[in-house]
Structure 1
């Protein structure tokens, strides 16, 4: 090529370079993210590429459901506040998932407008996005690891896990709270030192040290209760006002330090860490409610008393004790009923070697001393109306600042051994005990707060207590008892037995007639049922053992295992199902088909209907 051709090639313009056309990604919508998060938790985050956040929300809900099923289906004592908190966690996580999905979508959609429009999605923009939209880091892996292990154990239900929870859960939770409080406080101190050394203008957060103190204090009190068997956690009811005090002290100190630094380095003003402090308070309150279940059940039942009981200030069985002389009540030939209507005090009724009814009253006067206490005792007495119905009514001299405090009056009533009476016994605050009592027909019992104890009774008994345990042993007649909160036990009841409780376990042994047991939150144990059976528990395990089937059975547990020990040779037809659990049987005549069990043993005269949602196990008695 000569020089002229080279010059022409140099002078000719080069064709323009056309960059490759980039496909425009469709713009994502905030509305769609919110809709997806509302339908399936976590899906709104996945829609915007926040994979770890989306998986975390869904995994937490699944783990919470697994924990609810585990704690409500075991034979351990059911903790109602724990189940309530686990149930409330689901809507809390759900609505926070929707809220966070909308907030994250709004930040992501605003991010391109605040960055350089001509720059591609570079590492700098990615780092900026991570600063704007925080996602879990190593915590995500730890959550999957430990959460997955817990879900596996909840499903397998090993015995050692139940034993560990029942005996060491308090120590474990206390340790976590104490370590969490120390870590939170130490982390804030370390951050403050780094900021001061580096000269960085970062605002201090007010509330972190108070949150650390709350967590550590709750953990220490819980640990003391676990070690010593005390109720130190109840001190939180008196000490909780110290939280705003600590918060105020922290605010003043940090403001003073920041003001001094601001004069030198123009440091920003401190900001409130309301989210961190509220999280610590809610966590501490949740631990307190779960750990002190019995205390709050007692308070709830006290609130549940009727208006008459609510207006009374009950004296306790302490202080000054005065035993009055026995009161003799003549018994006429036509006397057939005894009624006792008390307000505050235990009532004991028993047969003794007496000709007439003898009443011994013991008066307790607390909060007063000397002549004042003695005057209250003298003016408190037992009023009796004689006739076909003997009415026994304690009369109380009120005292105290409010003028409504009732002295406690315990009654010991002895009945003649050769007479029978129908009984109607009531008290607002106190237990009722019947020993070796024979009624003409009926016995009625009612107390607002106290135990019901029956031993060697003849007659049909019907009674209730709002808060107290129930015991019935050797009753010749029917028994119909209920309690709002307390365990119930019955042995050798000849007639129909009906026991009902809202919170508590029920046990029935050796009943000869129809048995009906119902508990909203508690385990049911039946041993030796010979006739018709109805056993129902919403949250609790049901165990039934019997050498015979002499009537129709209805057994239902919404959340809890069902264990039946049935005779191999009897006359019944089995029809059972389990919604989510396994079904096993040792009796060859029963067939298992997926989630149902059926079969006919002998003539199939009686029906055994079993329904539940956890494991159903049928074994040979």
Structure 2
């Protein structure tokens, strides 16, 4: 009979599931979300789990190109969901295995491998996954809207889910408060996004309401017990932990710019440039901050996420001054005043001097950041004020020789042993202009070793225990520094803006993602990097290493041992270089003029002419080649169709030139413009 056959199939299916191994169930669930369910025959739930994990990963990738407050919070929530889904996959599959094992023989423990709900959700989720991976022009704006609104919607959905999982026979203290907090926070996030506000920041002022909610929840339990007693009281720890984690994350992400700690800056980019305030809207001039350095500092750290930074020298050796102007780009004067009230400048000085601009985020979910323009005045030499000047010792001069034949009844003063004193020991030292009383033998070299030493030079100031380092981080703005000394070195990082450096002592490392770099009169080595911008450097006393992906390189008067210049798209121009030189460009000409050659040169231009102006009295070995161009030389070198070779002088330094276009060698100082 058909009915009997169906019953036999059900019993066989149940017996097959009962034979499933528990260890393999957990292993498959851990290796693949939903794998344990598929192994047990729960195909609908297993496929749904796998689909949800794939949707989570696809959303992480799709929305990771934005750093606004709402998207960053969504990415954090999506990251939280991954381990939660894995744990659910493992424990739910193990629970199903136990339920199947304990089920009576011949009785199914599930409603079937598939259901109508599974089918509908799989179809809808598969289409959403397709659009996340390959969005069309019509779908992309809707996905962006979903990404902006999803953070608040997630909290509202979680609050609704927790409220539906209520058990009448049990009262979990803290669960009701968690539901109300999640719903309120989700509604505020949606409100902020729609109205382009940042009311989520009010959580820092309204947190005492937690105690009010706890009291209301206690009162609700007492009223329910009076109406229908017998409920079991427990703690809703899971709901409370979820609320604290999700709401705390919402506050931390949207209000990150105003937090006192900045530990995420090294891992993630800051607010996207399109959300940074410019110099428009409401302008506020802050009161100058004046700080007197009482102790030696080991480092100076300046941090400004949005705004220009100017650092200059102070005539006072221990005075630090910070001047600031704040710009809030909004049409709402009340919002601008509130942003000014909450924004602050942090200036502290212990073992290190820290200056940080902490503008309060505003706009939709805290996605905008006000602009702080800073003028910082530092002592010209932060170490000089704390150096200890040792007094100059008196010079040790040998005693004059006496005529031969004269003798002295005692030893000479210079060789005399130290005489004890009441307070300790003392020694007699010869003083300029004094001689021993009575005739004596001329002192021998062994007796007066100081006679063979030159006079001691004057003592120089003793530096502090550690050289001062200066670190400057700017997110969006121009940087200008001049007239300062930091023996520990300078490190300047700029995300978007130019860097101008003049009259600095110490090793310099400057990097900007988008902007030009100008360095002049640097007393030390210089490492300059502009990914999208030009670099100009002159009068560098040390070595220089300059790199740019898209920009020109112009350097002159380089006194260091090595000069390394590289650009992907731009020309290279060099005027006077003392040591070795390496110049490399993929697309651009190279022009080098120097009155001396003090090291090996390596010149490479893939697309562009190479022009050199060398002294006729140099000592070089020339080795040059072109692929398609011509070679011209005013120096006595052997020129063939594609190569130029020869030795001038002693041939101490090799110059290698590799170019696709022309190579022109001129006698210094001539070179066509």
TM-score of the aligned structures, taking structure 2 as reference length = 0.46
Structure whose residues are more often helix by fraction = 1
CA radius of gyration, larger in: 2
